[in-house]
Each structure stands twice: as structure tokens, then as C-alpha cells.
């Protein structure tokens, strides 16, 4: 709840620091190397990355629980004339009931790293169920630099994702020791047993 209030407040104050309007190079690299398919952006904010993916002919659903972020995302899609390729949903990414279908790509930039406890397992299980066989989770997350820190995910949390998905690439970032970050690419290569 506290996280949702934080994010809602950030969008109400305008221009949250992450909302740069520019997709990271890692997203472009993925889009250049992979054929278009169906994608899901978890915690899509104002839809920058959804629109970038749609610009590469992907059909994309973005979900975020802050209504103002989704309102802005929908406006940006109309302005970019991409409404036929994108869909924006207001909702909690931990409640996947509002989502349908399977996705070749799940993108998460900055959402997973605000989860903890049982939500980590729930998220991992749900993402793996939503990926097509061979589908990818492209994930950017801040990493805890000390176990007591309230921000970021631990290596243990990353290992939970590894129970359901196969880690195929990891690139540790260099944003500074105070806030280490990593890009991960997981693929759905495992047989689902549960
Ligand atoms: C750091 S921002 C990044 C936004 C966007 N991915 C980007 O790169 O611009 C994290 C986003 O995740 C959303 N978010 C966090 N937890 C969520 C949840 N449980 N359900 C839906 N959205 C969530 C926040 O509202 C926020 O828009």
C-alpha cells in the first residue's frame, strides 16, 4: 500500500525521475534481435516502452496501478497513432486475473524490485505462466547492496525467478555503488510442473 501511495504521489507531482520518455538501449537491442510478437509491460508507467515496442510492430499490453500514469500512456498512444497495437490496463501486476493470453515478451523496468516476501514467488509463478514456451522476461531491477536495505531485490529474490525461468543473460550496471542495478533476461525453457 505504501508503495502504491508513493508511486501515485510521484505521478501527481509530475515528472517522476524514471519517466524520461526514452527507452533504454537494452530494450532496443532486444527489439532489433527478435521478431515482433505479443508483449506485456508490467508497471508500464506512462507507456514509453509500450510505444517503443509497438513501433517495432509488437502488440503490447501495459499495466500499471496508477490511473494517472495510464491516462498519460493512453494519450501518448493516441498522439503516436499506435492505438491499434497497444492496450493499457489499470491494475495490480500481482493480480494477473485481469490479464489474458500468452506473451512472447514480458518487460519489467523497475516494478519487480519493489516487491518482497511472498509477492516474489507469486510474481515469478505468474510471469512464467504468462510466457509462451521460449518467451522472454526482460527485467531491470535495483539490487540490494546490503541485506537490511528496504530498496531493491536480493540475490535470493532473483533465484526465486530462476526456479521458474532460465536465466540466459545478466548485465550488472554501473549506476554507482549506492544503487546497483542489473538487466536480466530469463526465458521460459522449463517444463511447468505446477
Ligand atoms: C520505477 S517506475 C517505472 C515505470 C516504467 N516501467 C518506466 O520505465 O518508465 C515503476 C512503475 O511500476 C508501477 N508499479 C509498481 N508496483 C506495481 C504493482 N503492484 N502493480 C502495478 N503497477 C505497479 C508503478 O506505479 C510505476 O509506474
| CA–CA gap between residue 127 and residue 169 (Å, rounded) | 17
pLDDT (tens, 9 = 90+) of the chain, 194 residues, equals: 788 999 999 999 988 999 999 999 999 999 999 999 999 999 999 999 999 999 999 999 999 999 999 999 999 999 999 999 999 999 999 987 778 899 999 999 999 999 988 999 999 999 999 999 999 999 999 988 777 777 788 889 999 999 999 999 999 886 655 678 899 999 999 755 44
Q: Which atom of ligand 1 is nearest to the CA of 20?
A: 9
Cα(48) to ligand 1 centroid in Å equals 12
C-alpha 105/C-alpha 98 separation (Å) is 18
**Calpha distance 29→25 (Å, rounded):** 6
Q: Say if domain 2-187 classifies as CATH 3.40.50.150.
A: yes
Using most ligand atoms within 8 A of CB, pick from 47, 109, 110 the residue to mutate for ligand 1: 110
Residue 87, H or E segment = strand 86-90
Q: Extract the C-alpha cell encoding 191.
A: 517444463
Q: Could you state, in order of their start, the residue ranges of all structural domains in the chain?
A: 2-187
Q: CA–CA separation, 1 vs 77, rounded Å?
A: 28
Q: Which pLDDT score is estimated for 50?
A: 98
Cα 145 off chain centre by: 21
Amino acid at each position: 500500500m505504501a508503495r502504491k501511495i508513493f508511486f501515485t504521489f510521484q505521478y501527481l507531482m509530475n515528472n517522476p525521475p524514471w519517466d524520461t520518455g526514452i527507452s533504454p538501449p537494452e530494450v532496443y537491442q532486444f527489439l532489433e534481435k527478435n521478431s515482433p510478437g505479443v508483449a506485456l509491460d508490467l508497471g508500464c508507467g506512462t507507456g514509453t516502452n509500450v510505444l517503443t515496442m509497438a513501433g517495432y510492430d509488437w502488440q503490447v499490453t501495459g499495466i500499471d496501478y496508477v490511473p494517472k500514469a495510464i491516462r498519460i500512456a493512453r494519450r501518448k498512444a493516441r498522439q503516436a497513432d499506435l492505438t491499434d497495437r497497444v492496450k493499457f490496463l489499470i491494475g495490480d501486476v500481482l493480480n494477473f486475473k485481469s490479464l489474458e493470453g500468452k506473451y512472447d515478451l514480458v518487460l519489467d523496468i523497475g516494478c519487480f524490485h519493489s516487491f518482497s516476501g511472498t509477492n516474489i514467488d507469486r510474481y515469478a509463478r505468474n510471469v512464467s505462466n504468462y510466457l509462451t514456451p521460449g518467451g522472454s522476461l526482460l527485467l531491470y531491477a535495483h539490487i540490494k547492496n546490503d541485506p537490511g536495505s528496504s530498496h531493491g531485490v536480493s540475490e535470493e529474490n532473483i533465484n526465486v525467478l530462476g526456479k521458474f525461468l532460465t536465466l540466459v543473460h545478466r548485465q550488472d550496471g554501473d549506476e554507482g555503488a549506492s544503487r546497483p542495478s542489473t538487466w536480466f533476461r530469463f526465458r521460459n525453457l522449463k517444463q511447468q510442473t505446477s
